[in-house]
Amino acid sequence: MNKILKLTIILSLVVGIGAAYGFYKRKPDKDRVLLELIQYVLEEGHYSPSELDNEFSMRFYDDYIKNLDYSKRYFLQSDIHEFEPFNTLIDDQLKFGDLTFFDLTFQRVSKRIEEVKTIYTEILSKPMDFSKKEFLESNVDSLSFAKDRSELEDRWRLYLKYNVLVRISDAQDTQEKELKDDPNFEVKSFEVLEKEARAAVQKTFDGWNERLTDLDRDDWFSVYLNVLTAQFDPHTTYFAPRDKDRFDQDISGHLEGIGARLQAKDGFVTVIEVIGGSPSWKQGDLEVEDKILKVAQDKDEPVSIVGMRLDDAVDLIKGKKGTKVRLFVKKLDGSKKEIPITRDVVEIEETFAKSSIIDRNGTKFGIIHLPKFYIDFKDRDARNAGDDVEKEVKYLKNEGVKGIILDLRNNGGGSLQTAVKMSGLFINEGPIVQVKSRDKAPQILKDENADILWDGPLVVLVNEYSASASEILAAALKDYGRAVIVGSKHTYGKGTVQNIWDLDKLINPRLEVKPLGSLKLTIQKFYRINGGATQLKGVESDIALPDRLSYLDIGEKQQENPMPWDTISPLKYKKWHLNRDLDDIKSKSSKRVSKSEQFKLIDENAIWLKNRRENERVALDIEGFKKENDEFEKEVSKFKPLSKYDNKLTFESLPNELKLIEQDSVFAMKRERWHKALKKDAYVEEAVNILNDLK
């Protein structure tokens, strides 16, 4: 019997029994029904369900407290002491639908939110002394909870002082620029700037506090439930009814807004993907791993979203086509940047595969850029990644290219079906990937077509954000020995499959508890044909190049409670017999990279980024603050040549696009922009060099 159908029948029976014993004589407790239902689905449907024991309870407790007060600016040590007896009891409470711990924390966090408003209002009502040498500890992991109200107030004082100081410094920089343009510009005194900065910070925190106060019990219960699901793996998630509506809109392909995927990480709203063809992609400044600190609507005052719930932050960022939003972000290197974006609808054609001819000293090579593995299951006639890449390969073959680069960098995945088809363009028939469900033998997905469209040199470019279907394709071509995988040390490491379960459909319709929302549940894992999982480890590059993220923890391993890497039985498959010596190719690449000033600078930048992340103190006196900023600007300027690199390659559109370029100036501009970006790309340059070695 189908597992989902079986589970639905069981749940209906269970709830039906409750009705027989007078369950409907009173309105059922929605929270308990929801809690028990989610636990049941997790236990019966998750690929690898966690056992609810003391170890589970302690993990849950730590993550839950972190979710409630990541910055440690609300709870006191006395609160934590009161919570700690539940440390090993949560598993038992979950089993019996006991919400005592949740109710206690909900009441306490609501109380502390009210008290904090009094604290920050009092602090901001008085001038601050910026001559005193003080420091803000930015690494909250090194902090303990405040031992009493006095220590909490001092922690807030330092935090607010930093916020005011940033505004003063920005205002002074603006005045200096204005004065250069206009000698008669009226400069405000430090005292005036300080007062205005405090007023602006007060307004920001009032708005922030108001949104926290508006959160009701259901909002905080969603946090509780998502901490529960996160103990199973980072991709198993509970969607409250309105969150599910937003998720449905997102996956439908209608993306109106800025075109970036966001995630709540350690108290910050962090960019995890910039969607090709989106307003963010066009604007060009927003990058993966950027932390969004503040959001402003056009010319309005910016609002801090640090510590804000993700859906509330998204509500501020998204908006109708044509409206403007300003994002104030913190980059990986610690620098701050204001990014203005005009909201729009994502241009779908920019999410499709595209290719270009590369001229290297008179020899032609080809590059195919694939942003994602797209498919429309409702419309068989719609474009899909497998068919489109096949067309691009044919176009490049017709132009007589000597090698092809398949660029999967920042490709977060998509349709498994298209990844399997794409693999078949480059190999003889054979297995591509193993998909394993819980307690079942692996399903083997194969390329059934013995024809090979391209049998020449092939390089697959990847980075830390190549995930899911990208990893399946890269792994298959690597295991067959068909392509050289080039890029970061390894790909993202997401080797799991999720399914969405509508919880309303799993409950007796007579129960007055709907809507309940949905559960995104991990139900399968991917395994390579060599038996190894792509989960956690990702796919290691054959040739790893210096990368600005090399020394940072990026990818699945950075997530909380990731599912482990493991192996199953390997499959029989025939390795590709290409006349090549991979060790010799690696050696040649290594020699080139060691002599490359661009790659040396990239590696220096990576080391600098790591050291910047370990810098945990910020000066709060005006002189020390400006000195740190000046030193930072000097360090950053050293890496500006990275964006001005010229790889000396020539990029040309294929003949099938030339007529469209002549007729459509917008399309022509997009291709010109892409080619300019490729000319600055050292990784494409080295990929071409590797293709030349393979040739």
DSSP-assigned letters across all residues of 327-363? EEEE-TTS-EEEEEEE-EE--GGGGS-EEEEEEETTE
Query: How far apart are the C-alpha atoms of 319 and 295, rounded to whole Å?
Result: 12
More confident residue, 692 or 347: 692
Is 383 in the same domain as 427?
yes
- Token readout for 409 is 């960098």
> Which of 315, 345, 375 is the C-terminal boundary of a domain?
345
My answer on whether 194 and 328 are in the same domain is no
- Which stretches of 573-643 are assigned E, i.e. beta strand? 617-619
Q: Is the pLDDT of residue 17 over 80?
A: no
Please report the pLDDT score of residue 642 as a whole number.
94
Q: Which of 115, 144, 84 is nearest to 209 (CA)?
A: 115
Can you give the pTM of this predicted structure? 0.86
Do 478 and 539 contact (CB within 8 A), yes or no? yes
d(CA 112, CA 76): 9
Bridge-based pairing state of the strands 336-342 and 543-544: unpaired
Q: Other C-beta atoms within 10 Å of 69: how many? A: 20
Q: Percent of the chain having pLDDT more than 90?
A: 67
* 201 and 276 inside one domain: no
- In the chain, how many domains are there? 3
Residue type, 542: D
Residue 85, domain extent: 50-230
- Other CB atoms within 10 Å distance of the CB of residue 160: 19
Asked if the model's pLDDT at residue 579 lies above 70, the reply is: no
* Chain centroid to CA 163: 26
622-637 and 149-181 helices, crossing angle to 10°: 60
Does some domain include residue 34?
no
Q: Where are the extended beta strands (E) located within 503-546? A: 518-527, 543-544
Residues 235-269 have pLDDT tens digits of 999 999 876 555 444 433 344 678 888 887 766 88
At 297-308, the pLDDT tens digits run 988 888 888 767
Question: Does residue 223 carry a pLDDT above 90?
Answer: yes
* Token pair belonging to 112: 């502390």
The pLDDT of 350-355, averaged and rounded, is: 88
The sign one gets for the Cα dihedral 244, 245, 250, 252 is positive
Mean pLDDT, range 378-396, rounded to an integer: 92
Shared-domain flag, residues 194 and 163? yes
> Would you give the DSSP letter of residue 51?
P
Least confident of 227-231, 375-379, 543-547, 571-575: 375-379
Let me know whether 413 and 536 are in one domain: yes
**Lowest mean pLDDT: which of 76-90, 335-349, 583-597, 632-646?**
335-349
The residue that leads in pLDDT, 8 or 316, is 316
Name the residue type at position 639: F
Q: Which residue has 């020449």 as its token pair?
A: 456
Give domain status of residue 248, yes or no: no
The backbone torsions φ and ψ at residue 374, rounded to the nearest 5 degrees and listed phi first, read -90, 150
Residues 357 and 306 in one domain: no
Which of 215-229, 289-303, 645-659 is predicted with the least confidence, judged by mean pLDDT? 289-303
Residue recorded with tokens 């959160």:
215
- Work out the end-to-end distance of the chain between its first and last CA atoms, rounded to an integer number of angstroms: 53
Are residues 209 and 287 part of one domain? no
Instruction: Tell me the C-alpha distance between 303 and 325, whole Å.
Output: 11
In a domain, residue 330? The reply is yes
CATH code of residue 495: 3.90.226.10
Residue 6 pLDDT exceeds 80? no
- Is 60 exceeded by the pLDDT of residue 342? yes
Are 217 and 106 in a shared domain?
yes
Q: How far apart are CA 18 and CA 311, in angstroms?
A: 35
Write down the pLDDT at residue 4.
47
Residue 138: predicted pLDDT: 80
Residue 43 in domain:
no
The pLDDT assigned to 244 comes to 52
| Same-domain status, 129 and 185 | yes
Query: What is the model's pLDDT at position 257?
Result: 78
Nearest to 423 by CA among 492, 372, 349, 478: 478
Query: Given 345, 365, 396, which residue is the final one in a domain?
Result: 345
Residue 555 domain-assigned? yes
The token pair that represents 94 in the structure block: 């979950």
314: domain CATH number is 2.30.42.10
Instruction: Determine the pLDDT at residue 163.
Output: 92
Q: Would 249 be classed as within a structural domain? A: no
Q: Name the domain boundary from 345, 377, 395.
A: 345
Q: What pLDDT does 108 receive?
A: 97
Residue 172 lies in a domain: yes
Would you say residue 366 lies in a domain? yes
pLDDT-derived band of residue 274, with 50, 70 and 90 as boundaries? confident
Whether 105 and 201 map to the same domain: the answer is: yes
Q: Compare 148 and 319 and report the one with higher pLDDT.
A: 148
- Tokens read off for 64: 């839950």
Do 448 and 399 sit in the same domain of this protein?
Answer: yes
Separation CA 607–CA 201 (nearest Å): 34
Is residue 93 domain-shared with residue 61, that is, in the same domain? yes
What mean pLDDT value characterizes the chain? 89
- Under 8 Å between Cβ of 610 and 546: no
Stated length of the chain: 695
Helix (H/G/I), strand (E/B), else coil: 44: helix
pLDDT in tens, 614-623: 777 899 999 9
- Give residue 397's Cα distance to chain centre: 36
